[in-house]
Structure 1
Amino acid sequence: MFMLVDWYVGTWSAMLICMAECIVFAWIYGAHRIDRDIRLMFDRPLPVIIRISTAFVMPIFLTCLLLISIFTYKPPSFGEYNYPVYARAIGWCFTLSSLLPALSYCVWLIVNEKGTFRQRFTRLAKHTKEWAPANEKAEEIYRETEHLAEFTWRQLFWFNVTGRGGIVMKGIKADSVPML
């Protein structure tokens, strides 16, 4: 069983979940918003290595790794022992058990949203306006700077590459926003 979990969950699920997280954080929520959130919490910008690796390096690396895994897939084995078909089916169930809840929820959201498929997907691929920091002072600053965070894809790409064009929050010090 351990080999099956390692073979299926450790490969497929981990790669797909990590790839989704990189895309969501760097491109949907936006690295510029994460940069603002880091500045609110720590009075420092998002480190360059984090910004570039989350937006470019990891998605490209994980996509290549996923494609290599797909094209070089071989059924699991342990030494000379080849797992039977039912064991492979159990392994794929392990993989689906970690992916299916998130995928099902995404499909449910798309089905229950109004408009054309493109409108639904576009609306759901944006961050929610209801979210805000719990701290009142941080929420005030967050709300004041949110209108500056509406980036086009080109602006977001430029920010991910250079770190320029982000949300400027001059005069905001970490100690002016009391931590919870």
Structure 2
Amino acid sequence: MLRYATPEDRDEVLRWRNHPQVRRASLTTHVIEPAEHAAWWDAVALDPLRHVLVFEWRGRPSGVVMFDGRRSAERGVIWGFYLDVDGLTGRGELLPAWLELEREAVDFAFDTLGVDRLGGETLAWNTPVLQLHRRFGFTATRRYECVIDGEPQEVVWTELAAADRRGPRGTERSAAHAHHQDR
């Protein structure tokens, strides 16, 4: 289940973001200090074009999804996510939670936010994320280089148009179908 983040979620979201695996797969890899995170959190809370949602898996907060529509005219809505790696791994639930988070995020973007295109950046070496996006119908539309920690890294931009939306097994999905699935 996705729900809008509350002020009570702020510290837990920071803990998830600072996990070494999450930082390694991010475009910014430094440990985010509480003051930096608080400033970002406050700015997002005031911006109607940005949304932070907490993903709950089996009744526990287990990840976060962010949508940024500030550049929607040129690139569609940009999204990103990360999970509670330690908590989900410890319970043996990382993969099923990850699949569900992606399904719910795609549904939310198209069915609730009403976006036309959803796109995001993934480091090229992160093949599990790229494969998951592909399963949900995302297409790699361009590649470019970004310097991260002084080293050039290849970034893959993937996007999904509302008309091309599919479920995780390649089946076409419609808004009506999404609303009638078991949640």
TM-score scaled by structure 2? Answer: 0.24
Q: Which has the larger radius of gyration?
A: 1
Whichever structure has more strand as a proportion of its residues is: 2
Higher RCO by CA contacts (8 Å cutoff, separation 6 or greater): 1
